[in-house]
Chains A and B, each alone.
Chain A
Amino acid sequence: MKNFFLIFQKEFRSYFNSPIAFVVITIFLILSGYFFHGIFLNFSTISFQVATNAILARQNNQLNVTEMVVRPFFDIISMVMLIMLPMLTMRMFSEEKKSGTIELLLTYPVKDSEVILGKFAGCMGIFTIMVLLTVPCFILIGLFGEPELGVVLSGYVGLFCMGAAFISLGIFASSITENQIIAAVLSFASLLIFLMMGYSASFASESLGNVLKYLSFMPHMYNSFAKGVLDTEDIIYYVLFTLFCIFLNMRSLESKKWRG
Chain B
Amino acid sequence: MIEVENLTKKYGNARGINDVTFTVEKGEILGFLGPNGAGKTTTMRIITCFMPATSGKARVAGFDVFEDSLEVRKRIGYLPESVPLYTDMQVPVYLEFVGGLKGVDRRDIKRRVGQIIDDCGLNAVTKKYIGELSKGYRQRVGLAQALINDPEVLILDEPTIGLDPKQIIEIRSLIKGLGGRRTVILSTHILPEVSMTCQRVIIINEGRLVAVDTPQNLTAQLQKSQQIIVRIGGPEKEVLSEVGKINNVSRVAIKENGTDGVNTYLVEFKKDSDGGKDIPPVIVRKNWALYEMRPIGMSLEDIFIKLVTEEKIH
Contacts and interface: CB of A to CB of B under 8 A. Distances in A.
Interface in A94-121: 99-104, 106-111
A104 B80 contact: yes
A7 B102 CA distance: 12
Nearest to A7: B101
A256 B51 contact: yes
Given A3-B101, A109-B102, A111-B70, A100 B84 contact: yes
A23 to B, nearest CB: 15
Interface stretch (A10-18, A52-60, A76-84, A232-240): A10-18
B49 interface: yes
A108 B73 contact: yes
B102 A101 contact: no
A109 B73 contact: yes
Interface string B77-105: 01010101111110001000110111100
B263 interface: no
The listed residue with most B CB atoms (<10 A of its CB), out of A3, A109, A257, is A109
Interface residues of B, number: 33
Nearest to B81: A100
B183 interface: no
Nearest to B78: A107
A7 to B, nearest CB: 8
Given A106-B50, A107-B76, A260 B12 contact: yes
B74 interface: yes
Contacts of A106: 49-50
A6 interface: yes
B10 interface: yes
Contacts of B74: 109
A101 B48 contact: no
B205 interface: no
The listed residue with most B CB atoms (<10 A of its CB), out of A104, A107, A111, is A107
B51 to A, nearest CB: 7
Contact of B84 (A10, A13, A101, A256): A101
Contacts of A101: 84-86
Contacts of B84: 99-104
Given A109-B73, A109-B103, A100 B10 contact: no
A2 B100 contact: yes
B50 A10 contact: no
Contact of B50 (A3, A18, A103): A103
Contacts of A103: 45, 50, 80, 84
A111 B51 CA distance: 15
Given A2-B100, A109-B102, A104 B145 contact: yes
Contacts of B73: 107-110
Contacts of A104: 78, 80, 84-85, 98, 145
Nearest to A6: B100
A111 B82 CA distance: 23
In the A-B complex, the 9 residue pairs with the closest CB atoms: A100-B84, A17-B88, A109-B73, A101-B84, A109-B74, A107-B48, A6-B100, A108-B101, A100-B82
Given A103-B50, A258-B52, A260-B12, 18 more contacts: A10-B86, A14-B86, A14-B88, A17-B89, A18-B88, A100-B84, A101-B86, A103-B84, A104-B80, A107-B49, A107-B50, A108-B73, A108-B102, A109-B101, A109-B102, A260-B10, A260-B11, A260-B54
9 contacts: A2-B106, A13-B93, A14-B88, A100-B82, A104-B78, A104-B80, A106-B50, A107-B50, A260-B11
